[in-house]
Amino acid sequence: LEFFKIDAAGFEDGKWASDKLIANNNTWTVTVPDSIAPGQYVLRHEIMLS
């Protein structure tokens, strides 16, 4: 199993990504790039708090 990143968020416009996640009813939208080859993938997310 190989991992590669398709999205990242941190501190932007005076807010942490976790604050934006909470404000958006604990949902986050990510678009899988068209450049990724067709196939079966395991999608995984991380939430890192400081």
Per-residue model confidence (pLDDT) at position 19: 92
Is 18 strand, coil or helix? helix
CA angle at 9 for the pair 45 and 19, rounded to the nearest 5°: 90
pLDDT band at 26 (very low <50, low <70, confident <90, very high): very high
CA dist., res. 19 & res. 30, Å (int): 17
pLDDT band at 50 (very low <50, low <70, confident <90, very high): low
Per-residue model confidence (pLDDT) at position 5: 92
The residue ranking higher by pLDDT, 22 or 49, is: 22
Tell if the pTM clears 0.75, that is, is over it.
Answer: no
Per-residue model confidence (pLDDT) at position 40: 93
Is 31 strand, coil or helix? coil
